[in-house]
Amino acid sequence: MARLSWYIRRLKAMGIPEILWRIEQKALQLSEERQFRRPCSVTSGVFDRSCPLSRDADPSRLFLNTDNKEFALRVSIPLPPPYRYEEYRMRWHAGFQTDTDWPLIFSPKLDYRGMDAIGDARTNWELNKHFQFALLAKDYLASDGREWFLTELETLFEDWDEKNPFLYGISWTSAIEIAERTINWCLALGFLSAAKKVPDGLKERFTNGIINMAGYLFRHYSRYSSANNHLIIEISAVLHAGVLTGHAPWTEKAVEILDRELFLQDYADGVNKEEALYYQAFMMEAFALDLRLLQKNGIAREKTERWIPMLTKMSRYVRDCIGMYGEVVEFGDNDDGKLLDLAGGERRQDYYTYILQLMSLLLPERYVPAAELPDYEWQENVCWLFTKEEREAAAKKPLYAPTGSVDYAEGGNAILRSTDGEVLIGIDHAPLGYGALCAHGHADALSFQAFVGGERFLCDPGTYIYHTDEKARNDFRRTRNHNTVCIGGRDQSEMLGAFLWGRRATCRLIEAVTGEKEDVIEAEHDGYRPVTHRRRFTFDRVNRVLTIEDHVSDTTDAVFSLLFSDDIAPREREDSKGAGWRLEDVFTGRLVGSVEFLSGFSGKPQLVSREISRRYGYRTQTSGLVARISADPAVTVIRFGGPDNG
């Protein structure tokens, strides 16, 4: 019944054209099921006569920097915690969260969203994107033909190819995951083609697989309500395959869609409409790889020139969200997704630095320090895509760096900085998300988060997980678990599924003034219609003091929540009757700030237990404060820093 209800709600989010398209897709899937009723390897030949032949592929069109000397030889890739690659190296169908494997059935019939007993599909997909294939091919080239790397690659390739027939099983259930695998196969082929003593048969099978996967994506790329970041990644894979094979229909269609979607999915001020910074960076990685490929091959110059101003604004926004210590303001979902990982190893790469390095090489300005600085490192992905000379040229470009506070009025986020740069605050007055689904948004209107000295202070709860645990998926998106006002325990926006929303809050910016000494951000939302919530933030940039005034048109059951980092211990001040709280470092007991509920509150604020997720698949306990609002306005003062501000 729950699954049927989800389908009904999902249908309500579609228009007639989308429903007709989905019927066409269903008919196509039935045709493919008949065509591949006897499972066959994706590398066994080219299945679609409209696709190019494998002999037409020319890996030199990928323009990899095969002379790169900046690399490390590693043979593992990071998986979501607590899983280790070495333990799952060839467990392609593993459920991960359980000991059960995903069944090998025709992929459109595999309901990975509803099979809670098997595991989180997102975790499995990370193994089946094949970062390890590109990594091992790179290692083989970089090691000047060390046989072990090629043998390991062949072993994994043969095993996966045999156990994951075309369109059967968990690795074929999601087009975006097929797209990421396609891009990694393209790079693996590029490295193998530049290496010595690689069997021609292996390269031909890689090419067949790339063509078949790209052909599938060309027939099944996301459209209508599903056409968010998924479409960008899927069509980027088609572009890579089109350039690799010289197949104009793929390349031309990909450029057409990318050119349209860049301006459709992003606000004019450079904020992605998904309202999730990590997904903005993910989309920017795709556009950076695409732009590089098109520029290197001299394709679609007029269109790609149009991309430069928008990508510049998007890069500036990402850079504005990063503090002086590398801390990052993130709202919405973050699943640690990426397209390339040529460094490997268990350690996660700094994804935002990588994205800004790519953009520094492609755009007229740079967003990272100059390469000649002694402590500066180009990430390995970048070194395999751009030559040393290109990187040195990028270091001479003018640097864009944040100089103060800024408000993105259209995109809906304010980034505030203290004058000394020690405090970084993010304020969300944005729309819920993009399109009919708002798939990666949270019910967090008028919430905020803060960092002090590069460390988390007031937290956004994060994401935790997508599948297997519906309650956890919802809890991490709920209003009550964000630093905002919750009324009657309800959510500002209505969750109808893991990536589906119904009724949603609408925000309106009233005032945004970012000054030399003081910032003011005021906005309201209507998520509790007819009750409205208006919030005014005043930030003393010099003294690092944030004052919050909450105006609620009906204070009945209105509660203001604060969510702290797990490094922070709130302690009630003596004789304050709960109105004043010291914030101490958990490990040292050192005072790091304070909260004072000045007026408009009744009763004693309650210390509560909450959860936060610092990365996908991981959650930990932390503390929160809940204060009941009784009058308009309710005024809260937060001081950031040690004894001087306590």
Residue range 183-213, pLDDT digits in tens: 999 999 999 999 999 999 999 999 999 999 9
* pLDDT top residue among 642 and 488: 488
387 in the same domain as 419: no
Indicate the pLDDT class of residue 645, thresholds 50, 70 and 90.
Answer: low
450 in the same domain as 383: no
C-alpha distances in angstroms, 282 versus 83, 232, 252, 618, 622?
Answer: 23, 10, 23, 20, 28
DSSP lists the bridge partners of residue 546 as 539, 638
490 in the same domain as 346: no
Indicate the pLDDT class of residue 81, thresholds 50, 70 and 90.
Answer: confident
Tell me the pLDDT tens digit for each residue of 483-505: 999 999 999 999 999 999 999 99
pLDDT given at position 258? 98
Residue 243 has pLDDT above 70, yes or no: yes
Q: What is the pTM of this model?
A: 0.96
pLDDT given at position 526? 97
On average, the pLDDT of the chain sits at: 94
Question: Nearest 5°: phi and psi at 584?
Answer: -115, 150
pLDDT given at position 145? 94
25 in the same domain as 73: no
403 found inside a domain: no
AA letter at 188: A
400 found inside a domain: no
Residue 646 has pLDDT above 50, yes or no: no
Percent of the chain surpassing pLDDT 70: 96
Which domain CATH number covers 261? 1.50.10
The answer to which of 338-347, 367-376, 465-474, 586-595 has the lowest mean pLDDT is 367-376
User: What is the rounded CA–CA span in Å between residue 42 and residue 510?
Assistant: 55
The answer to which of 77-91, 527-541, 563-577 has the lowest mean pLDDT is 563-577
588 found inside a domain: yes
pLDDT given at position 2? 54
pLDDT given at position 642? 67
Name the H helices within 265-370.
Answer: 277-297, 301-320, 351-362
Torsion of CA 80, 83, 88, 92, to 10 degrees: -40
480 found inside a domain: yes
Residue 156 has pLDDT above 80, yes or no: yes
107 in the same domain as 141: yes
User: Coil, strand, or helix at residue 445?
Assistant: coil
DSSP state of 468: S
**Over residues 457-470, mean pLDDT:** 93
Task: Could you list the beta-strand ranges (E) of 373-480.
Answer: 406-408, 413-417, 423-428, 448-452, 455-458
466 in the same domain as 547: yes
46 found inside a domain: no
**Over residues 470-483, mean pLDDT:** 96
97 in the same domain as 29: no
Indicate the pLDDT class of residue 8, thresholds 50, 70 and 90.
Answer: low
Range of the domain at 9: 1-35
pLDDT given at position 418? 98
User: Coil, strand, or helix at residue 350?
Assistant: coil
547 in the same domain as 450: yes
Tell me the pLDDT tens digit for each residue of 13-56: 778 888 899 999 999 999 999 999 999 999 999 999 999 988 88
C-alpha distances in angstroms, 52 versus 58, 61, 139, 214?
Answer: 12, 15, 29, 10
C-alpha distances in angstroms, 418 versus 518, 519, 523, 544?
Answer: 9, 10, 21, 6
Indicate the pLDDT class of residue 3, thresholds 50, 70 and 90.
Answer: low
Tell me the pLDDT tens digit for each residue of 582-599: 999 999 999 999 999 999
pLDDT given at position 371? 55
40 found inside a domain: no
Which domain CATH number covers 532? 2.70.98.70
Residue 245 has pLDDT above 80, yes or no: yes
User: What is the rounded CA–CA span in Å between residue 277 and residue 91?
Assistant: 32
C-alpha distances in angstroms, 72 versus 289, 348, 383?
Answer: 22, 14, 11
62 in the same domain as 31: no
432 in the same domain as 383: no
Indicate the pLDDT class of residue 11, thresholds 50, 70 and 90.
Answer: low
**Over residues 145-164, mean pLDDT:** 98
Q: How many domains does the chain have?
A: 3
CA end-to-end span of the chain: 54
Indicate the pLDDT class of residue 600, thresholds 50, 70 and 90.
Answer: very high
101 in the same domain as 74: yes
376 found inside a domain: yes
User: What is the rounded CA–CA span in Å between residue 330 and residue 270?
Assistant: 15
**Over residues 341-361, mean pLDDT:** 90
332 found inside a domain: yes
383 in the same domain as 281: yes
